[in-house]
Every structure is written in C-alpha cells, then in structure tokens.
Amino acid sequence: MSEFPPPTVPTEPAPSAPAPQRRRRRPGTAVAILLAIVLAFAGGAALDLSTGGGDDTEFTSGSSTPATETVIELPDYDIGAARSGDLPRIDVAAVAAAVGPSTVTVMADIENGAFGMGGSVGTGIIATADGEIVTNAHVVEGASAIRVRLAGETEPRDARLLALDVGNDLALIDIDATELPAAVFADPESIRLGDEVVAIGFALDLDGAPSVTLGIVSALDRTIVTANGALDGLVQTDAAISSGNSGGPLVNALGQVIGINTAVARGSSTTAASNIGFAVSVGEALPVLEQLRQQADGTAREEGFLGVALDDRTDGGLGALIRAVNDGSPADDAGIRAGDIVIAVDDAAVEGAAGLIAAIRDLEPGDVTVIRVRRDDTTIDLPATLTTRPES
C-alpha cells in the first residue's frame, strides 16, 4: 500500500490556445532520423547552438537528470517529499483538479512573428504564490507584450518577462499578484520509468478548461536535436502533447510537476513516430529557474561557443563525430581536429552529436571544459576555453 495519497484539491482551471511554431537554437548536427519535432505552442523562437552542421531532423514542440541537494533545497519553489515506494494509480480527475488552478494561459505579442502570425499562445505554471510563472522560452521570446489568464478568470493580466534561457527553452515571467496557488514540483530523484503521468495545457486554444491527457514516463534523460539546437534532461512521455501545451505541466499521481511540456515528435515519409512527447524535467528546470530568478533582467543567458560542425556516427558507435573545426575557435585552439570522435565532456559521456551540443550549450563563455576525444586508437583529453559566438 502506498504511503502517498492522491491529490484531492478541488477547482477548475481556465482556457487557452496555441500559436505559430518556432524553435530554439540553431541547427546542430546532421542527424539521420527524419522526424519532425514540433514546439507545442503557437509562436516562434530561435535557439543558437555552439556547434555547426546540418540537421535532417525537424522538431515540433510541445528525463530526468539526477537531483542534487542544491536543487531540492531551492528557496520558494515548493518541492515534494522524497519518494520511498510505488506511486498509487493515477486519479486523472483529482490530479486535474489539484493542478488546474496552477496552470495558466500565456499569450505573447510578437512583432513579425513566425509565419506572420504576430503572436504565440502557450501554457504556464505558477511557480510561486507571489506571481512567478514558468513557461517555455519559445512562447515568449521576442514578445513586445505578454499576458496571462488565470484559472477561473475571464480577463488576462499583464505580465513581464523576468528572464529567459533559450538554450533550455525556459522562461520566467511575473504578474502582480499574491496568494496564488503555486504548483508543487516533484523531488527530481522521484521520477521513474513507467510512472503514470498527465499532461495539462491549453491545446489548440480550445474553449473551456485545459486539456488533460494520460500517459506514462516512457524514458528518462533524453536529448533531442531541433532545427535550432538541442535539449537535454528530458522526460519522454506518450501522453498526448499538442500545440498550445508548451510550458504546461507534466504531472505525477500526487499532483506534482515532474516536467514542463516542450516538444512532440512527428513521423515523416520515411520514419514513423507515435506518442512521443518531451518535457524538460524538474531536475533540469529548477536550477535554470533559480538562475533566471537571479538574472531577472529580461535578457537571455550567454552560452558557450566551441566552434565545430558535427555529425552522428554511422558505424554504430557512441560519440559525436567532428566534421569540421572553425579556424581560430576554442576547438581549434584546443587541438580538436576533423575526424575526432568526442566521447565525453568533463567526464560526462557523450552518446551522440545532440549530447555534445547540449553539453556545450549549458556552459558559458569563459568556462574551461575538458573535451575527451578518440583519435585513431588513442583517447585524448583536450581542455578548451569557451567563448561567445562570433557575430556572423
């Protein structure tokens, strides 16, 4: 018998909608999988990565990394208790009633927005009782105005952008309010493969309360490449995620947020993709949110630049293949060569090009990182000092 009772808080949320598609960073690798991964919102965003190369994989937006004590002890965000057993079977209605009041509609006016739509609509999660709301960066990036509609309200409230991290596709916005029903974030170490989850958000801008879809945690700690970059630390789920869901909560049986819905994979003429959605895990998101809170000036964090073009390996091995090295770049200065296979960054294994893109993206200009490469039959550690991306 589980010691965890299901959530019982009654209340219903409000409606919301999707907007044009958009993305994060720039193209990172020549990936051989022809999937379409689409951002689950209506709007656009640009992701700039620190590696070059072509990308065959399209993404449409819409796992967890291990937690540290720092993550669990972050102030002001409500973190759930550590897990000591199996969770109960999910009560979808109870979870929706518990989390619905913490789920909001986010609307952004974007001049010259994607496809000329001039705006985006997504979902947000109330992170603190005094008005902090987390959503995806691609929902609000480049917005001239942001509005939020709370559950049960008919009129939107003006919001301001505190800060955003395009590379991690996270943004922190704020409204002038108090005593809001803040969501509870799961202990990052409590997420397990096979857990039942629900995705909540304003899919397709349908009238009424947010849509709720049921699924499981299909995989943890995923990394994906989008047309604009890479995202890591993702929870993969088969809960349906649609345009308008971006920035909304992926929730466990206790009504705790385990991830922030971001992307969904779609098939192509050569590749099938069914029920594959992604959410930024709380283990990845909470430290970023704390950085955004400290930053809180409405600008994007600068990301490290290595200066390489990448391919995935085609021989079945793990690692990222260096296709080319930019002259005078940190990679060039470090002695990285075309043909090298990167197998680790700072002792963390790199399984493919997406993993290298994400690892460098999470670092900042001035950081010294050790790139471990396999060259012929030799393994070499090459320290590289990252810089800012040169102006093109």
Catalytic residues: 138, 169, 246
| DSSP states along 27-76 | --EE-S---EEEESSBS---B--SEE-----B-EE--PPPP-HHHHT-SS
The DSSP secondary-structure symbol of 300 reads B
Other Cβ atoms within 10 Å of 376 Cβ, number: 8
Helices (DSSP H) in the chain: which residue ranges? Answer: 69-72, 92-99, 137-140, 282-295, 330-334, 353-361
By the 8 A CB rule, do 386 and 306 touch? Answer: yes
Distance CA 67, CA 63 (A): 11
The two tokens of residue 127 are: 């992170």
Query: What's CA 113's distance to the chain center, in Å?
Result: 21
Helix and strand totals (H; E) in the chain: 6, 24
Please name which of 44, 37, 47, 52 lies closest in space to residue 18, comparing C-alpha atoms: 44
Distance CA 377, CA 156 (A): 61
Please name which of 77, 177, 170 lies closest in space to residue 122, comparing C-alpha atoms: 170
Distance CA 299, CA 388 (A): 15
* 3-state secondary structure at position 231: strand
